[in-house]
A = this chain, B = another copy of it.
């Protein structure tokens, strides 16, 4: 038997992954959810026909979205994750020694359910005492916190772990949302979002970079290599009110990163710094 899943990543480029079986397929209230067992990558989660992650290389995206912003913040106690119902970014955030509370706001509770069932190594921390999972619209959630202006509700770090800017995630790539996120952050808060491929989505990266630069005191872009994502190179855009996201904060000078080494397959202090070193063609996008 030779059975393939195809993903059209742009109108003119795509990938194919050979599958062993279809483990799950259902239309939730928000999207089409498919889980394949594959020969190359282990289990793969697909939302609206786009690969979200595979067992075999989910570590790159989750470590890099979770750890880079957190380790550049002096004391990230309260974290908000928008999307990310699989729990991968939650798992990574809990490796930071200062984290006291994580709110995960995932619009589609079905993603949380199937992740717990099919990806227990990724969803393993969703039941942690420090974690609260809310099945709500992340945009509304952030707007409400921003509007109320209650300091106790605000966050040190907001991470956007979204699907592509079509369908349910569309509003997460708009100025309104970035402004509301600013309002939902503490005075030294950091905002970070996945912002697609530097090879295929240059206009999107440019536009978001411009907005973040206007709103936040500091803005930056970093990249990581993710084989199942379009072009294999992925970008993350960070806006920061105070801290330089490019460097690990002084507050971790006694933190033993070596102790985490077995748990970290991609991130390290050296990778933190080098992920901000951009090839000239990417520097050109955001200049």
Contact = CB atoms under 8 A, between A and B. Distances in A.
Nearest to A4: B14
9 contacts: A11-B39, A12-B17, A13-B17, A14-B15, A60-B279, A197-B227, A225-B279, A227-B232, A229-B232
A265 B277 contact: no
A271 B266 contact: no
Given A6-B16, A227-B232, A232-B232, A277 B281 contact: no
Nearest to A59: B281
Contact of A280 (B41, B199, B232, B261): B261
Contacts of A256: none
A10 B199 CA distance: 23
Contact of A227 (B12, B233, B265, B270): B233
A41 B18 CA distance: 24
A264 B280 contact: yes
A102 B178 CA distance: 52
A274 interface: yes
Interface string A1-29: 00010100011111111100000000000
A16 B16 contact: yes
A38 interface: yes
A268 interface: yes
A40 interface: yes
A61 to B, nearest CB: 12
A96 interface: no
A231 interface: yes
A201 interface: no
A192 B261 CA distance: 29
B16 A15 contact: yes
Contact of A40 (B10, B15, B40, B225): B10
Nearest to A16: B14
Interface string A238-265: 0000000000000000000000010011
